[in-house]
Structure 1
Amino acid sequence: MIKSTVGFIVLIFTLATTSVGQPISSQSTDNSKIEQAKQVVQPLLDMSLPEVMDQVPAASGLNFIGCPNCHGGAQDMGVLNWEPVLGSCVKCKYCSMVFPNEKFPYNKEKVIIAPSGAKQVYRYHESKEGAQYFFEAHAWYERWKWIQSMATELSQLWSWTRDEAYGDRAAVILGRFAQVFPDYAIRYDYPSAKVKFFPADQKWPYEGLTAYRGAKWYWWGYGDIPADMAKAYSKLQNGYDWKRMDKLIGIETAKRIENDLLIKGYEFTAANPETFSNMSPGTYRDMVIVGRTLNKPEMVHDAVTRFREFLKLGFFADGWWKEGTVSYHDQTVGSLRGVALAAQNYTDPPEWKGERYVNLDLIKDMPFFKKAIAVSEEAVLPNGRKIPINDTWAYRNGTPKPTNKTVSRLWPSLGNAALGVGEGKNQTMVNVNWSGNYGHSHYDNGSIILFAQGGELLSDIGYTHGKYRGWTIHTASHNTVVIDQKPQDAGTLIKPVTGKLLFYDDRDPHVKAIDVDASPAYSTSETYRRRLVLVHAGPGRDYIIDRFDVKGGKTHDWFLHGMCEEDGILTVSIQLNEEIKSLVPDWGGSAKPKNQYEADLEGKKIHAYSYLKDIKSGQANGLWTATWKYQNSGLRTHNLAQTGTEVFSFKSPTVRRAEEDDNKLDQFMGNGIMQRHKGGSSSFVSIHEPFQTLPWIKSVSSEDDTYIVNYELDGKDITDRITLVDTSIHVTSGAGWDYKSGESSSGSLLSFKMDNGIPKFELDKEYNNIGYIRLEIPEGGTGYYRVRSTTGNWLTLEEDPGFMLTDQGKLKYFTFPHSENSGPLRYTVFQNNEKESIK
C-alpha cells in the first residue's frame, strides 16, 4: 500500500486551548510575518476577484504522473512540476521538458458530464505501451494545492489586518470551491495505474477499489475532508461580511461553503468503512476541525469514537505501531497527537444529547503514549538516523542528532533488539529483527544491521518507492540466510512469522548477547537460529560473534551487505577467480522491473538474484576473511567456513543514494559477499571486527563450539574464549573478566496480576536476582520481560506485558495482535551461580 511521503510530524508540541466558535488556531501578529504573507499573496492582489475565482480548478486534478521523456524520479510523484506561469502545462524536474509538446501531444481524452451538467474534458497523452499522462489534470491538481495555500494566507492576513482585499479573495476562493466541489469526479489516482473515474455524487463503495482508494478532494480518501479550507473559513467567520460575495458567488455563500464543501467532504469520507490504518488519524483530525468549525458535535464524536478504538487495536505492548517501521510509527504517533491537538478543550454545546465532552483531553486516553514516544526517541543509530527497520526511510529524518552513548534496546512484542555499547566516537550497535509481517514489512527475519566506527557498516537499505523496491524487501538484500533461493514466507495475523526470543542479556558491561529462533520465517526450516554476542573489549574495541544455524531445504545462502552510503573497497583472503554471469536459478527470471509494483517476490519473472552483478566465486574450507574499507572506517569479517562452502563476491544496488530517482539506481552499487552451503544443515560462524584505520584482531580460531579471539589491548596480549553450547553462552577474557549466561530453569506461571498498575508474575518456585523471564506461548512464540525485583514466588516486571489471564487460564492480549492462547504457561529463567540462585 502506498502511503503519504510527507515529512515526519513533530511529536512534541504545545497544545492550543480553544473553544467552540473560535478559530482552530491563532497566530502572532508579528509584523515580519504579516509582510512575508503579503509577499506570498501579492500575485492574487494583482488579479481581479473573477480572475481569482478562475484559479480554482473546475474539475478534479490528478496527482500521480511520470515523465514520458526521461522516466526520472520514482512512484510518479514529484516528477512533473507546476507553477502559475506554466498555465495548463507542467515541467519535468529531471529533464526540464515542458508538457504537452509535439513529441508528447494530447492524443486521447475522457469526457465526463458532471451532476450540474457541466462538461469536463480530461485530455491526456497515451504512449505506445498504454501509459497515460494527464498533463493538464496534473496542473489542475498542483493549482488546487496552490490556491488552497493562498486561501489560508489570505484568511490569516484578513484576521490580522481586517483589510477586505484579503478577506474578499479568501472568501471568493472558498465560495468557488463550494460551487465546483459537488461536480468533482471521484477518481482512482494511483502510481503506474490507469486512472478510473466514478460519478461525482457516488459515495463508497466503488467497483474494484478498497476503502479510501476512490477520492474526491485529495488523491485518496483519507484526505477528502477539506480541513484547511475549514480553518480559513473559521477565520472569516469571525466578522467577515459574507454579503460581499452575493454578486460573485451568490446569496448565503457561507451556508454554501458549509453545506456543499465542508459537510459534503465529511460525508464522502465517512462513507468509507473504517480501516484503522496509519493514515486514519489524519482523517480523525480533519473530522474534529470541521466539526468544531461548524459546531457539529456529531462529527467530533465520530472522530473521537474512531480515535479511541484505534488506540486499542494498533500498538504492541512495547509501544511500537504494529507495522514495525520507525517511519510509520512516527507518522502514526504524530497524527494521533494531531487529533489530540485539534480536540483539546472541546466542550459539547448544551443541546447535545448523549455522552458529553467537557474540556476534552485525549492525551488522557493514550496511556501508551510515553512508550510510543520512547520508541521514536530510542530507535535511532548512534549517528541519530532512524534504525532502518522494515519500511523506514534511511535518510528522511530531518536533522539527525547523534547520540552521546549507545545502550541496548529490547522490543520483545515487536520482535526486535539493538545490542549497544560505547560513548562518543566509540559507539557500536547491532540490530537484529524477528518481527512478523503486518504491513510495510520486509522479508528479513534474523537479519542484522551493524553500526560502528561512525558508520553503518552492515546496512539495511530501508524504504523506497523506486522500481527496485522488490530487491529492497527481499530476503537476499538483507544480512540473513536465504533458503533455496526463495524469500521468507509472508506472515499473516492467522499465521504470523514472528520468531522466538530464546535469550537476551544486556546487563554485563563487557557482553551483550541474544539468541533468536527465527524459524517461523520459513515453513521449510526446522532450524533458523541466530546467536549474537557483542564483546566490548575496550573503547573502540568491539567485536561480534555471529553464529547462524540452519536446517531445512537444500541450499543455504548467507548474505552480508556492506555500507549503503559508500561504495568502499572489498578484499577477501581467498581466491575468487571464477566469474559468474548470474546466480538466478533455472526457475527464476531476470526481467527488469518498470516500477515498484513489479516486486515479484516469487522470482519467476524477476528473481532477486538478478540484481547481483560482477559476481565472482571460489571455495572456502576453514578460516577466511572479507574486509570492507571505507573513507573513515572499515569492517573485517572472519568466517569459519564449513567444508564445501562456496563463496561469492558481488555488487548490488544500494538504492539510498539514488534518492528516489529510478534513472540513478544502477549508479550506486555496494559490495557484498555470500556463502553458500548445501546439504541438510549449515552453521555459519563469523566474527565481525569493526575498525577505524587498521584491523586490530591478531587471530581467530575455533575448537568445536568455542571461538578464540586474540588481540592486543593497552600493550597486553589478550585472548578471549567464547563458547556457545545449546542455550549457554560463556565468555572468558584474558583481560580478567568472565561472563556466563547461566543455567536455564523452567516451571509454571501460576498467575498474573496488576498491583496498583505494577505487573507481577507468580511462579511455582522462588528466585533471587533474576534479570529476565521468558514465557513460552502455547500457540507459538515467546514473551521476554525485564524483572524489576523478586519477593518470594512473585516477580515484579519493569513493564506491562500487554495481556491478561482469564479465569479459564487463557492468555489474552489486549494489545496488538490481540491473540488468545490457551494454557498452561511455562516460563524460563537463567541462573548464574555467581549472580542468581534458586531457593
Structure 2
Amino acid sequence: MMLICIALALAILLFLIPERLNAEPVFRPEVDHGHVAGIEKNLAPVMALSEDELAHLIPDRSGFRFVDCSNCEGGAEENQLSWSIEDPDHVFCLFCKMRFPNEVYPENGVLRVTNARGEIQEYPYWEAPFPPPAELPGSLSHIQPDRKYRHYFRAKGWYVARMYFSDTAHQLGRLYYRTGDPAFARRAALILDRFAQVYPGYCARYDAPFRPKVIFEGDSTFPFPVSPYLAAKWDYWAYGDIPSNLVFAYDLVRGSGQVDDAMRRRIEDDLFHGSVRFVRSYPITLSNMDPAILRGLISAGRVLNEPAYVHDAVQWIGDLIRKQFFVDGMWREAAVSYHNQTVQGLADVMDLLKGYSDPKGYIHRESGARYENLDLSDRFPLFEKARRIPDLLRYPNGRVVALHDTWAREHRAPTECSRPYLLGGSGHAWLGRGSGAGQMQAHLHFSGAYGHAHADLLSITLFAHGQERLSDIGYTWTHQRQWASSTLSHSTVVVNGEDQARGNENNPSDGNLLLFVPGDSGFQAVAAQGNRAYPGVVRDYRRLLVMIGVSNRDAYVVDAFHVDGGARHDFVLVGDANNDGTIETELNRSPYGETLLPPDVKVVLPSGETVPGYAEGHNFVYAYVRDVRRAEIAAPWSVVFTSEGEPKGGVRVHGVSGPGGELLFGSMPSVRRAEESEGRLDDNTMPALIHRREGKDLSSVFVNVLEPFGDTPFLRSVERLGNDSDGLALRITGEGYTDYLLHSTDGKRMAVEDITLDGRIGFVRVRDGDLERMTLVGGSLLQKGNAELSGEGIFEGAIQGVLRKETGSDVNGLVVDGNVPERGTIRDLTVLVKDGAGFTLGLRLTDVTRRDGRTVLVLADDPGFEMNPDGTSRHVYFPRRSWAGDNRYEIVDVRHLILPRK
C-alpha cells in the first residue's frame, strides 16, 4: 500500500511539473565535445553576471542598426559601430576605435515615443551640425521636417546587444544539451523570459542608412507608411523579426525544469506568437529575404506545435521557387550573391522541415494536405538547377563572375576546364575553352533588371592566362555603389552619356539572344541584342563575340558592337579590377581634362550608397573617370591593357572600326580592393578605354579584336577587308596562319578576295598556304578558292505546341512546323524561341523526331513556357509573363570542315 501511495504521489508531482523534464528537442544541435570548452569560454562574461545584471542588459527598446561613426570614414553603409558586453554603456568604431558617446560627440538630445503599453521610451542622440546625407521617403517626410542628422549611439548598442543575447541564449541551450548542466539552461531561460517581458513594448521603426530614423508610436500597425517589411520591431527590417535563435534556444531548454508555466506563456504567446503575428501582417513579397522569414516561421511552427505555420511555409517555399527563378535555375535578380543567399536560405529551411509529421488527425484547412515524414529535397526539379548555378558562374581561378550586385570576393574551387554555356532564361552566356592554366572565358551579359541590377546590358568580361583581364566591379555598399552599377563602369556602349534603362517587371529591359554557337575549342560565337537599354533612342543595339582558338593556350575574341541611334556613342573597355594596371599605346595622347565632364560643371558625388549625386544636368558618373587623355583616330590602332597581377599577362586591343571619333584614356575607381572601407576607395584604380563617336542620328559599328596574352602577344596583324556596307570582313594573321572572319548582318552574299559567304558567319583558316579549317554559321555556302562547305542555313517556323515532362509528357520539346531534318547534323544546336511578346529564349536541341505526323524538337531541358488553347502563352517560371501572338523558332545550322595537317 505504501508503494502504491508513493507511486501515485510521484505521478501527481510529475503531472504538476510545468515542463517536460529532459524532453528531446525538435532540433537536436551538433555540438562536438571538443567545442564545449571554447563555447564556455566565450560565454564566461554572461555566466559571471548576476541574474539582475543580466536582466538589466537585455534592451527594453528596439535600437538601430545603421548609426554612422562621426569621427572617421572607415567602413561603409553606417555599419562602423559595434558594442561589447565588457563596456555595455558605449559603442565603439571598428576602424578608428573611438567610443561613443563622448565629450566630443555627447548626447545632446532625446527622442521620446509612447509604446504599446503606454510607456514613454527615450532615445538619446548626438545631433550633427549638418543634415543627413539622404532624405526620408516622401511618405515619412512630414515626421522629421527639420532634416536633422541624429546619431543614436546608445540605440546602436541596444541593437547589437539584442543580437548578442539572442545568440547567447542559443549557445547556452546548446551547452545545456551537451553537458546537462542546469546552470546553462537557467541563464538561457532568463534571457528568453526577459525578452518575452520587453518585446511587447518594442516599437516598430524605420531604420535605413544615411536617412533620419523614425520610430512609430506603439499603437501603430500595418500598413505602415513605408515599403513592406521596412518597419520592424526586432531586426532592422521585418524579414528577420521572428527571433529564430531564441526559438532554437527555447526548444533546447524548455524541458530542463528551468522554465516555469508563467515563463512559458510569456515566451510562447507574447514573444514567439507575437512576432509571428507582426511579420504575417505584411503581404508575402517573394523576395531574396523570404528564407529568413521562413526560418522563423518553421522553427516556431515545429517547436510550438503549430502545424499551420509549417503548411504555410511549405506553400511559401513552392511559390518562391516556381515564381521567382528563371527556367535555367537563376534567381530573378541574376546576381550570383543574391542567388546564393536565396538558394542557401531555401536549402536551410528545407532541412528544418525534414522529417516533420503533422499531429495526429491534423489536415490543413485550406489545402487539405497532411504531412508525414516530410522531405522536400526532390520536390522541385528547378531548385536542383538553381543549386548548380554557383559552380557554373565562376572563373577558372574560382572567383565568382560578378554579375549585377555580386560580391566579387566570393570564391569557390578553381575549375578544371572551361566550356561555353548559355543561361537562356535569365540572359547570360559565355564562350570558354581550355583546361588548367590554359583556360579562357569571354562572358556576354544580356539579362533584364529585376532587382539588385546594374545598367550593364551587353557588357562583357574576359578571363585569360590566370586573371580577369576585363572586369565587372560587382557589388559594394560604399558611396561608390552608384558608380559600380552605372553603364560607364562596364565594358559596353553608353549612348548620349546616359545610363541604360534598368526596367522592371512591368517595363522589362531584357536583352534578346540572337545566336549561340558552342562550337569547339577553335570556334565559338554568341550574339545578343539590347534595344530595350535605350528605348526610343536606339533602333539597333547588338553585340557579337566570336572566340577563335590559336593553340592550347591562346585564343582571341572578335568583338563587333553595332549601335544605331543617338548622338553620342561611348564604347567602353574596363581593365583588371583586382590589380594595378595601365593602358600602353604608341598613339600620341594629349590632355583632355581632369574628368570626362566639362571643366566648368559643378559636381556633387554621392556620400552614401543610396545618396544621389548631381552634375548640373550631366551624368555625374562621368566625374569618376579621371586624368583623361585623348588620341585622334586616323587608322587602325592598338592598345595594351596591362596588369600587375600574377600570373602576368595583358590584353592587346586591335581597333579596326575605321576612322572617326577619338580614343579617351583614363583611370576609374576599381572599388574592390577598398574592401568596403570608404576611406580606401581612392587608393586603387583600374584603366579604362573609351572610343567616342559623335554625330546627328549616329550609326556606329565598333569592331575590335581582343588578344589576351601571357608573356608576349601572338598576333601579327589585324586588317579590315572589303566594303563596310557589305558586312564585316577581317584578316587576322599569326605565326604561320591566316584567319578570315566574315559576318553578314543581313545574311546576304559576301565576297572578299577568293572567299564567298552565303550565310551569317564564315570562318576560314589557312596555315602555311594550306586550308586547315572552315566553319559556316547559318548559311548555305562558304567557299575559299576551290574548297566549299555547304550548309542548310536557318530552319525556322511556327511553334504549334509545347511538351513538358512536368505536365506528363515523356520529353521536353516543341511541336513545330517547317522542314527540320531528322539527322545528326542538327543535334546539339540552339533553338531560339521568339515569343509573341518580342522576347527570346535559347534552348539546347538534342534530337528531332516525328510524332503523329508532326515535327518535335526534343530539348535538353524544360522549355519553361506553355501555350494555351485560346492563343495566349505564358512563362511557367519567372518572369511569368503572359502574351498573345505567334511563337516562332529559329535554328541556325552550323557546319565545320577541319582538314588534317599535311
Alignment of 1:39 onto 2:41: yes
Alignment of 1:204 onto 2:222: yes
Contact 1:591 1:605 in 2 (8 A): no
Q: Which moved more, 1:514-523 or 1:345-354?
A: 345-354
CA distance in structure 1 between the partners assigned to 2:281 and 2:417 by the alignment: 49
Contact 2:636 2:656 in 1 (8 A): yes
Contact 1:468 1:599 in 2 (8 A): no
Alignment of 1:766 onto 2:827: no
Q: Secondary structure at the match of 2:303?
A: helix
Contact 2:802 2:865 in 1 (8 A): no
CA distance in structure 2 between the partners assigned to 1:98 and 1:490 by the alignment: 42
CA distance in structure 2 between the partners assigned to 1:476 and 1:601 by the alignment: 16
> In the TM superposition, what is the alpha-carbon distance from 1:386 to its structure 2 partner?
1.2
Q: In structure 1, give the amino acid aligned to 2:275.
A: G
CA distance in structure 2 between the partners assigned to 1:372 and 1:81 by the alignment: 36
Q: Secondary structure at the match of 2:319?
A: helix
Describe how 1:50-449 pairs up with structure 2 within 5 A. 50-77=52-79, 79-129=80-130, 130-207=148-225, 209-243=226-260, 252-354=262-364, 355-395=369-409, 397=410, 399-449=411-461
- Select 2:739's aligned residue among 690, 713, 720: 720
Structure 2 unaligned spans of 5+: 1-22, 131-147, 723-727, 748-759, 780-793, 898-902
Contact 1:500 1:517 in 2 (8 A): yes
Larger CA Rg, structure 1 vs 2? 2
> In the TM superposition, what is the alpha-carbon distance from 1:571 to its structure 2 partner?
0.8
Q: Secondary structure at the match of 2:633?
A: strand
> In the TM superposition, what is the alpha-carbon distance from 1:669 to its structure 2 partner?
1.1
Q: In structure 2, give the amino acid aligned to 1:830.
A: V
- Select 1:557's aligned residue among 570, 584, 596: 570
Aligned twin of 1:488: 500
Closer, same or farther: CA 202–757 of 1 in aligned 2, 3 Å: farther
Contact 2:604 2:613 in 1 (8 A): no
Closer, same or farther: CA 316–588 of 1 in aligned 2, 3 Å: farther
Residue deviations 1:290-338 (CA, integer Å, cap 9, x gap): 0111111122122222222222210111111111111111111111112
> In the TM superposition, what is the alpha-carbon distance from 1:353 to its structure 2 partner?
3.8
Q: In structure 1, give the amino acid aligned to 2:97.
A: S
CA distance in structure 1 between the partners assigned to 2:180 and 2:66 by the alignment: 39
Q: In structure 2, give the amino acid aligned to 1:59.
A: R
Aligned twin of 1:738: 774
Closer, same or farther: CA 758–640 of 1 in aligned 2, 3 Å: same
Q: Secondary structure at the match of 1:68?
A: coil
- Select 2:491's aligned residue among 452, 475, 479: 479
Closer, same or farther: CA 117–598 of 1 in aligned 2, 3 Å: closer
CA distance in structure 1 between the partners assigned to 2:526 and 2:601 by the alignment: 35
Alignment of 1:639 onto 2:655: yes
Q: Secondary structure at the match of 1:267?
A: helix
- Select 1:510's aligned residue among 513, 522, 525: 522
Q: Secondary structure at the match of 1:340?
A: helix
Structure 1 unaligned spans of 5+: 1-20, 244-250
Aligned twin of 1:15: none
Contact 2:523 2:548 in 1 (8 A): yes
Closer, same or farther: CA 241–470 of 1 in aligned 2, 3 Å: closer
CA distance in structure 1 between the partners assigned to 2:315 and 2:304 by the alignment: 19
- Select 1:710's aligned residue among 733, 737, 757: 733
- Select 2:877's aligned residue among 815, 824, 831: 815
**Percent of counterpart pairs with the same letter?**
32
Contact 1:474 1:601 in 2 (8 A): no
> In the TM superposition, what is the alpha-carbon distance from 1:508 to its structure 2 partner?
2.6
CA distance in structure 1 between the partners assigned to 2:202 and 2:800 by the alignment: 62
CA distance in structure 1 between the partners assigned to 2:118 and 2:38 by the alignment: 41
CA distance in structure 2 between the partners assigned to 1:833 and 1:74 by the alignment: 53
CA distance in structure 1 between the partners assigned to 2:172 and 2:484 by the alignment: 44
> In the TM superposition, what is the alpha-carbon distance from 1:256 to its structure 2 partner?
1.0
CA distance in structure 1 between the partners assigned to 2:244 and 2:688 by the alignment: 48
> In the TM superposition, what is the alpha-carbon distance from 1:27 to its structure 2 partner?
3.4
Alignment of 1:783 onto 2:841: yes
Closer, same or farther: CA 169–239 of 1 in aligned 2, 3 Å: closer
> In the TM superposition, what is the alpha-carbon distance from 1:28 to its structure 2 partner?
4.6
Aligned twin of 1:541: 554
Q: Secondary structure at the match of 1:807?
A: coil
> In the TM superposition, what is the alpha-carbon distance from 1:812 to its structure 2 partner?
1.5
> In the TM superposition, what is the alpha-carbon distance from 1:143 to its structure 2 partner?
1.2
Contact 1:319 1:371 in 2 (8 A): yes
Q: Secondary structure at the match of 1:47?
A: coil
Residue deviations 1:500-541 (CA, integer Å, cap 9, x gap): 111110123311101111112111111111010011111221
CA distance in structure 2 between the partners assigned to 1:776 and 1:439 by the alignment: 25
Q: Secondary structure at the match of 1:616?
A: strand
Residue deviations 1:430-481 (CA, integer Å, cap 9, x gap): 1111111110111111100001111110010001111011111111110000
Q: Secondary structure at the match of 2:712?
A: coil
> In the TM superposition, what is the alpha-carbon distance from 1:364 to its structure 2 partner?
3.5
Aligned twin of 2:13: none
Closer, same or farther: CA 30–311 of 1 in aligned 2, 3 Å: closer
Alignment of 1:806 onto 2:823: no
Q: Which moved more, 1:358-367 or 1:479-488?
A: 358-367
Contact 1:167 1:236 in 2 (8 A): yes
Length, aligned pairs only: 800
> In the TM superposition, what is the alpha-carbon distance from 1:150 to its structure 2 partner?
1.6
How large is the RMSD of aligned CA atoms in angstroms?
1.9
CA distance in structure 2 between the partners assigned to 1:87 and 1:356 by the alignment: 48
Q: In structure 1, give the amino acid aligned to 2:297.
A: M
Q: In structure 2, give the amino acid aligned to 1:667.
A: D
Contact 1:592 1:606 in 2 (8 A): no
Q: Secondary structure at the match of 1:153?
A: helix
Contact 1:182 1:200 in 2 (8 A): no
Aligned twin of 1:590: 603
Closer, same or farther: CA 520–317 of 1 in aligned 2, 3 Å: same
CA distance in structure 2 between the partners assigned to 1:493 and 1:22 by the alignment: 47
Contact 1:487 1:601 in 2 (8 A): no
Contact 2:795 2:892 in 1 (8 A): yes
Q: Secondary structure at the match of 1:425?
A: helix
Aligned twin of 2:754: none
TM-score (norm 2): 0.86
- Select 1:26's aligned residue among 25, 28, 34: 28
CA distance in structure 2 between the partners assigned to 1:833 and 1:482 by the alignment: 35
Q: In structure 2, give the amino acid aligned to 1:413.
A: G
Describe how 1:663-742 pairs up with structure 2 within 5 A. 663-679=679-695, 680-704=698-722, 705-712=728-735, 717-726=736-745, 728-735=760-767, 736-742=772-778
